Amino acid sequence: KAGVTQTPRYLIKTRGQQVTLSCSPISGHRSVSWYQQTPGQGLQFLFEYFSETQRNKGNFPGRFSGRQFSNSRSEMNVSTLELGDSALYLCASSLDPRTPEAFFGQGTRLTVV
């Protein structure tokens, strides 16, 4: 079956713009989590959604937001982009929040110039 699909794979934006990233989980998976990965900070948890509800949120400013749709697809949005938002954004899906095995997508490489 198809894996986790993230679109777009690469994105270049300028400071002050906003961006929306998309994640399609594995079919049947209802839990989606987002992570930001940078060389300096490593893999940092952004938020987790299950059944269209945000279950957990990491320590990121309000400029970072997300949502999950009824088909489990998820989007995350970053407004008023800053240079420091340049990162690899990873989405992970699992059957439900109790499942320890999460499947990650290839990520979206965002560059803010």
What residues have CB less than 8 Å from 24, skipping those under 6 apart? Answer: 4, 5, 6, 7, 73
Question: Of the candidates 22, 60, 95, 97, which one interacts with another protein according to CB under 8 A?
Answer: 97
| Closest CB 73 distance from another protein, rounded Å | 17
* b/e code 53-82 from CB counts within 10 Å (16+ = b): eeeeeeebeeebbbebeeebbbbbebeebe
**Total residues at interface with another protein (CB under 8 A):** 27
Most distant CA pair in the chain, distance: 39
Half-sphere exposure of 110 (CA within 13 A, CB side): 30
Q: Per CB under 8 A, does 106 bind another protein?
A: yes
By rule CB under 8 A, what string of x and - marks binding of each residue 12-51 to another protein? ---------------------x-x------xxxx--x---
Binding segment (CB under 8 A) for another protein, from list 13-21, 64-72, 77-85, 86-94? 86-94
Binding site for another protein (CB under 8 A): 4, 33, 35, 42-45, 48, 55-56, 58, 88, 90-92, 97-107, 109
